[in-house]
Amino acid sequence: MRTAIIDPIGLDNLHLVERPAPQPGPGEILVRLRAASLNYRDLIAAGGGYGSMQKQGDLIPLSDGAGEVVELGPGVSRWRIGDRVISCFCPDWQAGPPLPGCFDHDLGARCDGVAAELRTFREDAVVEIPESLSFHDAATLPCAAATAWHALIELGEIGPGQTVLTQGTGGVALFAVQIARLAGAEVFALSSSDLKLDRLRALGAAHVINYRADPDWGKTIVKLTGGRGVDHVVETGGGDTFRQSLRAVRIGGMISVIGVLGGARAELNIPVAIMQNVRLQGISPGSRAMLRELVAAVVQHRLAPVIDRVFPLAELRAALEHLRARRHIGKICIDI
């Protein structure tokens, strides 16, 4: 089978190689992968950015894959040959709150990922794809969409009449816009590009702001909300945005701390956080149970993931460069 390999770690060392087909062990299934999608973290992992928390060589990249079951290992009871499945980002987190060890086998960093024609999975490490979802649409869900779902629905409990702020037009941000809209919330969305702001409006954002043209956008959000601030900030900008986010959120509101696009460190003005009674909530992509709920909601609400471009597996390097250039809107997919 063909697989992408990064060895030694570093994007320049990404190759396609032939490997023997893996064999499913007891309790495992063999999946013929058909599609994958990229996340910003794939660039971090390709560069070895997770340090000792990731494989430093011979890494099969990418966490989000969709395909069909082609072989069952001994004792498998949940799946049949031909079933269509997506990968869980953290297979050790099945349900309930996160517990120590639940991130120990994240795909495409600590463990091999899905940029391969065949991969074995524990039978509880995948979720069924409903008939109405294509492999490509399904492959966009395990990381970016699940993170937005975890933040807004599972922990944020966002609903009609509430307000949500999103940052940029990457995978997490666009799913946050779509999920906030399906929950009935009003969306305030930021982007660096006026063209992309039009796309955000088309997706249902009620208010859009160019964060380059208006670097003091936290103040603008307060003005636009009649002095109140937003209920929920989906914080993906990190170092560049955190200070403005703290300004934009309402008293008693929530900042979902998710991303590091503009740097991994930010200064916290502690008195402001205290006086604002703000809730800072670290977010990860969530449990298998959350992914199943997300998939059900995507189908029920006919949510269409925004796919910017599809590259063949042989052009994975070019796809990652496209992600790094930040010209995309939404998700970049890989055809396997």
* CB closer to ligand NAP, 48 vs 170: 170
Closest distance of CB 239 from ligand NAP, Å: 8
Residue 23 CA to its chain's centroid (Å): 29
Q: Count the Cβ atoms, other than its own, within 10 Å of residue 14.
A: 18
| Nearest partner of 319 among 305, 306, 335, judged by Cα | 335
| Nearest partner of 298 among 67, 144, 107, judged by Cα | 144
Site residues, ligand NAP (CB under 6 A): 39-41, 143-144, 147, 167-173, 191-193, 196, 211, 236-237, 240-241, 258-262, 283-285, 323, 326
* CB closer to ligand NAP, 84 vs 207: 207
* CB closer to ligand NAP, 101 vs 184: 101
Closest distance of CB 47 from ligand NAP, Å: 12
* CB closer to ligand NAP, 62 vs 185: 62
Closest distance of CB 94 from ligand NAP, Å: 17
Closest distance of CB 282 from ligand NAP, Å: 7
In a 13 Å sphere around the CA of 267, the CA atoms on its Cβ side amount to 2
Closest distance of CB 141 from ligand NAP, Å: 12
- Preceding peptide of 8 cis, ω within 30°: yes
Closest distance of CB 325 from ligand NAP, Å: 9
Q: Count the Cβ atoms, other than its own, within 10 Å of residue 180.
A: 31
* CB closer to ligand NAP, 31 vs 177: 177
Q: Count the Cβ atoms, other than its own, within 10 Å of residue 229.
A: 23
Looking at the chain, which runs of residues are DSSP E strands?
A: 2-6, 14-18, 28-37, 64-72, 84-87, 118-122, 126-128, 163-167, 186-191, 207-210, 230-235, 249-257, 279-282, 307-312, 331-335
* CB closer to ligand NAP, 30 vs 307: 307
In the bound complex, which residue of the shown chain has the CB atom lying closest to ligand NAP?
Answer: 170
